[in-house]
Every structure is written in C-alpha cells, then in structure tokens.
Amino acid sequence: MDPEALRKYSALHPKPAGLALQYGTAGFRTKAQQLDHVVFRMGLLAVLRSKAVAATIGVMVTASHNPEEDNGIKLVDPLGEMLHPSWEEYATQLANAEEQELQKVITEICQKAAVNLHKDGLVFIGRDTRPSSEKLSQSVIDGILVLGGQYHDYGLVTTPQLHYMVCCQNTQGQYGKATLEGYYEKLSKAFMELIKQSHSSGECQRHLKIDCANGIGALKLSEMKPYFPQEVVIHIYNDGTKEKLNHLCGADFVKVHQKPPGGLDMKPNERCCSFDGDADRIVYYYKDATGHFHLIDGDKIATLISIFLKELLAKVRQDFKMAVVQTAYANGNSTRYLEETLRVPVHCVKTGVKHLHHKAQEFDVGVYFEANGHGTVLFSKAAETKIRQLVKEEKDDEKREAAKVLENMIDLINQTVGDAISDMLVIEAILALKGLTVQQWDALYTDLPNRLLKVQVADRRVIDTTDAERRVVTPPGLQEKIDALVKKYKLSRAFVRPSGTEDVVRIYAEADTQENADALAHEVSLAVYHLAGGKGTPPQP
C-alpha cells in the first residue's frame, strides 16, 4: 500500500463533516452528492475483498427504486451473492473513517481478514442510468487503482447482470460467459427451448407490455429484443427518454400504490408488468373488463413457479426436497394456498434478500420471493447434476422430457439474485406451457385485503423483534396491545418492524375486508406511536 497515493487520492474524494452511513441490505444509499467519498472507499474495499478471497468481486453503482437524485453502491461476492456480513461491518467502518484514519482502518481490516496485499485483485464494475452514476463509478476506479487492483468496467448494466458476470468469472465460465452477449444467449436459448414445447406456439403471438421505470431495464431489454422468438412481442414503456427514473412508475410504485404506472396505456385483460429502477424486481398486473386493477405480486409469482416445478419434480420421480421461502409480508392466503392446496413446505424468514437466499440454499429446490417482486429459484448442486444426467441418460420418455424442461428452467433462472428480465421470461414460459391467461393465474387464490403504513419515531432501535419479525420483544406492552387489536377482526394478523434504512416503524395488517385491514393498521400505528416514541402528530385514519 502506497500511503502517499492513498493520501493524495483520498483528498480528491473528501468526506463531508459529520456524515455517518451504514452498509445495509442494499449497500449504501443516500443523496448522490454525499456519496463520492463512500464509492472511492468501496473501490478500496472491493480490492481488499478480492485479495482476501482470491476471486473477482463486483461493485454496482445504483439506488434501485429510490428517486433519481439518490444513488448508492453495493458489493457483490464471488458467486454473485450479497457481501459477507463481516465485511458489511468493514464497509461501514471504512465509509465513516476520518481522512487521517483511513490508512489505519485499512491496515486493521487487512489484519482481521488476513488480506495479503501482494496478491492480485480484480473488480467488475456496473452502473445504472442515473445522471450521477458515471462520475461515481469513476471514483470507484480511483479507489481500485490506489490499492493496485485491476478492473473491468461493464458500464450500463442491470444489477442482476453484474451479479451474473461475477458468478460466471469465478466459476471459470461454468455458469456462463461473463459478457452481455453471453447473458442474452444463455437466457434466450433456454427460453426458446421451453416455448417450442408450448401448445400455442406458432398459432398466436404473445404480447406483453413492460413498464421499465425509466431505468436501465429499458436499455437492456431493447438490446435483448433481437434474441427473442417471433412468438413473443414485448412493448417497452417508460424507457427513460422522457421522464425521470422511478417517477410515478416502476414495480415499487405499482406495488405500494396498487395502481398502474403512468405512461402505460392499459386495455382490459392485457398482460402488463413493471420492473424497478435497476431491474431486480418485477410485478405483473392487468385490468379486468370492468376496469378494476389487479396486482400480481411476488407471492403469486412464487406460487405460479412452485406449481410448475412441483409438477415437473413429480414426473422425474427423484427424492428432491422443495420449499418456498417468504417473509412476514407475504399475504396470508398465499401461505395457506402453498401449504394446504399445493402441499409445499413454507418457511418464513426476516425481511431482506440475504435472509431469503440463505434459507433457500438449504433445499434441492428453493423458491424465494418477497411480496415486492424480488426473488428467484435456487437449485442445489446435487439436484442440478442429477437433472442434467437424466436428460442425457434416462430411457423413460416422460421422465426425460420433464428433466429437459427442468434443465431449461435452471438455465433460464438467474440463481445469483432476483432478476426482472429472467423472472419475466420464466413467467412467460410457464404461462405459455400451461396455457394459462393472466386472469386464471390471478384466480389461484384471492389476496387477503391488507395495508402497509409507517410511523415516524425518534429512534427505530427501540423496536426489537423475534420469530422472523412477526412478534415484538420491546418496547414492553406493544405486542400485547397488537394481539388484543388483532382479536377484534376476522382472518387478521398484524406485525411491526423497524425500517432498515430510516427512523420509521413499518406496519403491516391484513383482515377479511379492506375496511378492517385499514382500521387494524391504523389502530396498530397509534399503539406504535404511543409506546415506541412517535414523532410529530399522531397518525390520522
């Protein structure tokens, strides 16, 4: 490490006085103008991580579904997964260190994590379409070069594409080619193979309207269009040429407001979907003949995929363990349908993709989705090897054909992280193969009416939870109060949890009617306000 170079470059990326940030599930996120020192230092950290694990590390500059003025940065570990939790601590320490402590903090990280600075370090960089992203990724490069690291800058990519590249690189190409062409070819080839077997192929074109949140998804989908079969016609809306990123559009807007995005003209019974700003989330929706809006969220996507995979697994007759992983936000009726009708085990974990991903790794086939539309399917190495072997060697036609469909699903799914493009193709293939309309898919079960609220508090840390965030431990008396309120309504449940990013407490309630769900959510928010140090005026109904 060259202390002089570190001092010189660090002075070019000064830390604003008094600013402290925390590396959370989504990495660092804040106003773009406050991030320059952070991204420079994450360039440093990425090189240290790369040298520590002797593998390529990814750095993605994005703030996903946040407003355009914000930006953020997150690191990607060798197999395309989230950064290891012990390194999240190092990221926070490094980002918040005062200028004169920087070298000391780096030395401490090297000692704790046994980093050999003489080893090579390689970092892959990607960024979204925000106006601030290009300059910030230049600052990342400054950090990488100071510690003698090498880099490859992919420029504009979706977040899941960068995760994919990192995984391809570190599996020596076993997962695929670490190029955009490689990504498009692998996914489109698997998709074509699946679509070929659908009964409707050739007869009619399948139209899909896609709201790309005025983000990177539009650019990458346009690049991928030539790879699609003629039967599939995609119509891209909110492509970023006119409006601001995530403004009144995108998966998060549609899910939270339960209404269609601006800039997309919906006719009755047309299939539509929305990506979020960095294309790692997707939700579907349609309007019925009466003009009523229907949202198909992550829970229903997980259910569709589970039905399809369960049928195939039954046909290959192997003893594979399959499960669905959800969070407390999953609609109660989705959990009931999966457990009681489909008879698939369901596990509930804390909110945050890393918790879902980690749990899903325990099964041969682990389906995980958050209600917000972020999710994927993981296949164990053993299951994948067995399925590929059946395709080659199985004499029984039915078993071999089912294994072939599973093999194409494995190739179509981005197993590193939730990926809106990949998930969209998986859904489109399943709907085609099963001959399902969007309405039939929606009718699998009816969501219980629900309401999400948030209450501002002086300090979100006063709330402590247990049982995958479904029960409150502190402050005392709050859980008893929630229990008493829930008893007043039919088919009801409610839980509260501190936000991971701001001083608010998030409230979720569901009940037999929308009126009751709203009333329960409001009563719980009042309880939180009074017992957990609410700020400002009490919540209004």
Cα angle 387, 393, 398 (rounded to 5 degrees) comes to 70
**What residue ranges in 328-422 does DSSP mark as E strands?**
346-349, 365-369, 375-379
In angstroms, what CA-CA distances link 26 with 56, 83, 245, 383, 465? 20, 10, 18, 30, 21
Is 64 flagged in the annotation as binding? yes
Query: Do strands 471-474 and 464-466 pair parallel, antiparallel, or not at all (unpaired)?
Result: antiparallel
- Is residue 132 within 8 A of residue 36, CB to CB? The reply is no
DSSP 520: H
Sign, Cα dihedral of 262, 264, 267, 269 = negative
**Active-site position among 64, 133, 334, 492:** 64
| 64 is known as an active-site residue | yes
Is 403 flagged in the annotation as binding? no
Is 263 flagged in the annotation as binding? no
Question: How many CA atoms lie less than 13 Å away from 111 in the CB half-sphere?
Answer: 6
Closest CA to 505 of 539, 467, 480: 539
Is 78 flagged in the annotation as binding? no
Is 371 flagged in the annotation as binding? yes
Is 419 flagged in the annotation as binding? no
> How many residues in total does the chain contain?
541
CA 132 centroid distance within chain: 22
DSSP 501: S
**What residue ranges in 88-228 does DSSP mark as E strands?**
122-127, 150-156, 206-211
SS3 474: strand
Question: How many CA atoms lie less than 13 Å away from 114 in the CB half-sphere?
Answer: 2
Is 62 flagged in the annotation as binding? no
- Is residue 420 within 8 A of residue 281, CB to CB? The reply is yes
Q: Which amino acid, residue 57?
A: I
Is 470 flagged in the annotation as binding? no
SS3 205: coil
Which two structure tokens, joined as six digits, stand for 495? 């839980």
d(CA 453, CA 124): 38
- Determine phi and psi for 515, rounding to 5 degrees: -60, -45
SS3 37: helix
Is 414 flagged in the annotation as binding? no
DSSP 183: H
- Is residue 503 within 8 A of residue 511, CB to CB? The reply is no
Is 498 flagged in the annotation as binding? yes
Residues flagged as binding site for Mg(2+): 64, 276, 278, 280
Residues flagged as binding site for substrate: 370-372, 497-501, 506
Residues flagged as binding site: 64, 276, 278, 280, 370-372, 497-501, 506
> Catalytic residue positions?
64
